[in-house]
Structure formats: structure tokens, C-alpha cells
Amino acid sequence: MLRVEDVEFAYGDLAVLHGVSLSVDPGELVSVVGPNGAGKTTLLRVISGLQTPSRGSVRFDGESVGGLAPHAICERGLVHVPEGRLLFPTMTVRENLEMGAYGRRTRAALRENLDRVFALFPILAERQGQEAGTLSGGEQQMLAVGRAMMAGPRLLMLDEPSLGLSPRMAVEIFRVLEQLNRQGLAILLISQEVAQALRLARRAYVLETGRFVLEGSGEALLHNERVTASYLGI
């Protein structure tokens, strides 16, 4: 479904990604874990068209999406929830959700997708007339995921969805992601909640200094000595 091959990227003279390759198959939940500064966010930005790699390719459903504008990539069903949520704070919850259905492909399904989001996150239905900037951090993250779901994703990419959330809200976000994956949605997840990310993942990668140093099933990496020593404190 998604194939990233030999991608390299640099900010000026600072090389960030070094020949990175990964894949996500239909219905998979794939996690990428690693330390701050490893290049995880940059990787998602390259996939979603926000950054242009100096080398390598990104293919979705067998077709290259390299060079396409981010909105065109989103229109194909490859949808990115960025770190920090990036909501429209003075717009209402409902208006933010409607912005997720801005593309031509999803406008006709706006009502259906809105009902689906409200079923996932009932609090958003209760607060749909409230300005997004007045929500709690956890509610804002729910709204960010909900807005992405309004775009009708076939593969959902999430960058640190639990960052800054209370433990209870983080558990709720991961519960929803697991539910969506069980319903058949492919997910590419970046998270520093390493244990939770690996437990959810069918497959996972460890990214360090712009290179994948480990790859395997989520279960195998959860018990890998290098992972447990470096990221789980065991």
C-alpha cells in the first residue's frame, strides 16, 4: 500500500534521513519509534509531500506520489495528523471537522463521516459549537484525529498523538487507534510511547540518527534487548 524506498533528506547541510525504506500493507498498523531528533517527523513530512527528498521514492497504491502537493496526496487517502495538532483555534469543533472534508472526494460523505467521528469521540458531538482553542489537550487531539477521519483516510499517519496528554487521555487515543485498525484502517504511527506503540503494531521500525537500525514484529521489538535497554528502561 505504502512503499518508501531509499529516501534521503537534508535541511541545508544537515542530513536527516539516510536511505530510509519502509512499507505499510493494507490493514496494517506499523509503528516507528526512536529518540528525539532521529528524523521521525521529517519522514512523515516527506511521505505527505510537505518536504521533498533529495533521493528515493514514495509510492502509494503502486503509484508515485513524489512531487504531488500535500492536498493531492491527502485526496488519494494518505492522511497526516501532525505533531501539535495544528487546529484552527477560533473555529468551532464542527467547523474544524468540516475542514477535514474539504476535498472533492469526501464532500459528498460529510454527514456519514461526521456521524462516524461523533461515534468515535462522543465528547466532540457535545462540544461541536465550542471553539477548538478552548478544548483540553486531550479533546484537541481527538479533534485532530477526527478531522483526519473526515478526509476519508485509507492510510492514517500520526505523529506523536499522545504528546502532552494525561495518561488517561493517552490510553483513550491509543484505544481509538486500535479500534480503527481492527476495522481495517491502515495506520503508520510515530510515538515516543514506545511500549504502547509496539504492543499495537503488527510491524515496527526503530529509527536512530536518520537510519532504521531495527525492524520486526511489534512483539519481537518489545522484547528486544536493545529496545528494552534504550527505550523502556529495563
36-89 pLDDT, tens per residue? 899 999 999 999 999 999 999 999 999 999 889 999 999 999 999 998 888 999
Does residue 24 belong to any structural domain of this protein? yes
Does residue 9 belong to any structural domain of this protein? yes
Does residue 127 belong to any structural domain of this protein? no
Could you report the per-residue pLDDT of 147-171, keeping only the tens digit for each?
Answer: 999 999 999 999 999 988 888 889 9
Domain span at 225: 1-77+154-163+188-234
Kindly report the pTM of this predicted structure.
Answer: 0.92
Give me the DSSP letters along 142-194: HHHHHHHHHT--SEEEEE-TTTT--HHHHHHHHHHHHHHHHTT-EEEEE-S-H
Number of domains the chain is built from: 1
Does residue 86 belong to any structural domain of this protein? no
Left, alpha or beta for 91 (phi > 0: left; psi -120 to 50: alpha)?
beta
Supply φ then ψ for residue 176, to 5 degrees.
-65, -40
Give the number of other Cβ atoms within 10 Å of residue 136's Cβ.
12
Could you report the per-residue pLDDT of 114-160, keeping only the tens digit for each?
Answer: 999 999 999 999 999 999 999 999 999 999 999 999 999 999 999 99
Does residue 126 belong to any structural domain of this protein? no
CATH code of the domain in which 198 resides:
3.40.50.300
